[in-house]
Copies of this chain bind each other. A is one copy, B any other.
Amino acid sequence: MIQDTQYHPLNPDSLRQVLSDLPSLAIRLGGAPSDWNIREVSDGNLNSVWLVHGPSGSLCAKQSLPHVRVDPSWKMPLDRTTFEAGWLQAVAPLVPDMVPEFLHFDPQLFLLVTACLDDHVTFTEALAKGMDPAPVASQIGRFVAQTTFHTSWRGGPFENMARLEGFFSGNTTLTRITVDLVLTDPYHDHPRNHYHPALKPLVNQLHIDPAIHRSVCHMQSQFFTAREALLHGDLHSGSVMVDRNGASVIDGEFSCIGPIGFDCGMFVASLILASFAAPTEARRNQIRQAAPIFHQSFLKAYCDEWLHSDAKTDLAPAFLTRDDAAEIQRQQQEECDRITTDTAGFAAMEIIRRLTGYAHTSHFDNLPETEKGQKQYQALSFAIQLLSDLKTAPENLFPHGKTAL
């Protein structure tokens, strides 16, 4: 039906109609369309999301809105689900067990349909409920290694990466949000910024400290100029769904080509924020230790891919065979050190913007106001320490973590 292929914001009734016109999805759900239970679960800032359950199966439908969902005055192009669909299709062959199955994309409706992660909760929620973060941290380390290595120039002929670059360079709308909200706004006075009053002295420091501004310039430059791999672009704990079998990564709408340490830094920042919000010292330490676990898992998987990938790459001359073990290890160390420094810098900036910028973390939501202020102050101080000296930041973030290759 023509009207279904023109963009209009869906509601449960019109979504039911769209799905019933797609035989493979209708069969997956089973029964008659009227049997399907459609539940809106939108809780991100940007899009509408529904979970659909039928007699035989389930699915998840996500549609872009022409504005930010939580702020209709903030207008926004619709193409973000296009990039999320492209990201999902690019990484699914690399990490088939760590993303929901891609089922359908409608480029007119900007509607993405994936498998439904029944019985999963966000990693944010799981952390709040006391889950041991180590297994998920380790798994996400492998996830970042697999998705970045194989979309980098090391993972195949450069033409593969050029194709990704051609597509994802179009995702300027959401990259602009990253540039403004993560990389810029927290470092000057901006009407979108807000923060707990206890953080005021630290926020003042963010606005004037030359050492911080120097690092911000460096990290901005890294973000713009490092054409390393396809990134998820928003890999915080709310983009990771978990159940007892492991983790699935969702919400790739911020995907772009950039520095690998950006994805690592986003995830590490979530762990650090959750650790500072933890109710007890023991729990704080348990979550805190998941950061180096993530990091070691990433480094090991990344270097394993480098050594053992059979992809034909542009590392053509025979001198780059696996026989020259010492030189390969030297190169790996150099690259891993750079990724680690980027990880520390971006982690610091993500912690800072989640406490003082526009979109805050929910890790501290259930704390009494005073305790919340105290704990956020500790977290922000730690991030400021990292960002004030990028040379020592890796060692402060991952004690003894740099020499583990």
Contacts and interface: CB of A to CB of B under 8 A. Distances in A.
A176 B180 CA distance: 35
Given A153-B225, A188-B319, A227-B257, 12 more contacts: A159-B172, A162-B172, A165-B169, A166-B170, A179-B314, A183-B314, A187-B319, A188-B316, A210-B319, A210-B327, A213-B327, A220-B314
A221 B313 CA distance: 12
8 contacts: A158-B176, A162-B169, A166-B170, A179-B314, A208-B319, A210-B324, A216-B317, A220-B315
B315 A217 contact: yes
A220 B153 CA distance: 10
Given A225-B228, A320-B213, A175 B162 contact: yes
B317 A224 contact: no
Q: Is the interface of A mostly helix, strand, loop or mixed?
A: helix
A323 to B, nearest CB: 12
Q: Which of A165, A176, A228, A317 has the most CB of B within 10 A?
A: A317
Given A210-B327, A226-B227, A316 B184 contact: yes
B227 A187 contact: no
A161 B170 CA distance: 11
Contacts of A331: 214, 217
A187 B320 CA distance: 11
A1 interface: no
A170 B176 CA distance: 23
A204 to B, nearest CB: 13
A202 B162 CA distance: 34
A122 to B, nearest CB: 30
Interface in A166-216: 166, 169-170, 172, 175-176, 179-180, 183-184, 187-188, 208, 210, 213-214, 216
Contact of A224 (B153, B216, B330): B153
- Assign chain A's interface to a size class: 35 or more
A318 interface: yes
Given A172-B159, A224-B153, A227-B224, A213 B165 contact: no
A179 B184 CA distance: 36
A257 B317 CA distance: 24
A184 B327 contact: no
Interface of A: 152-153, 158-159, 161-163, 165-166, 169-170, 172, 175-176, 179-180, 183-184, 187-188, 208, 210, 213-214, 216-217, 220-221, 224-228, 257, 314-320, 324, 327, 330-331
A188 B318 contact: yes
A179 B158 contact: yes
A35 to B, nearest CB: 44
Contacts of A166: 165-166, 169-170
Contact of A175 (B158, B179, B221, B320): B158
A316 B163 CA distance: 30
Contacts of A324: 210
A170 B165 CA distance: 9
Contacts of A317: 184, 187-188, 213, 216
Nearest to A153: B224
A170 to B, nearest CB: 6
Contacts of A228: 225
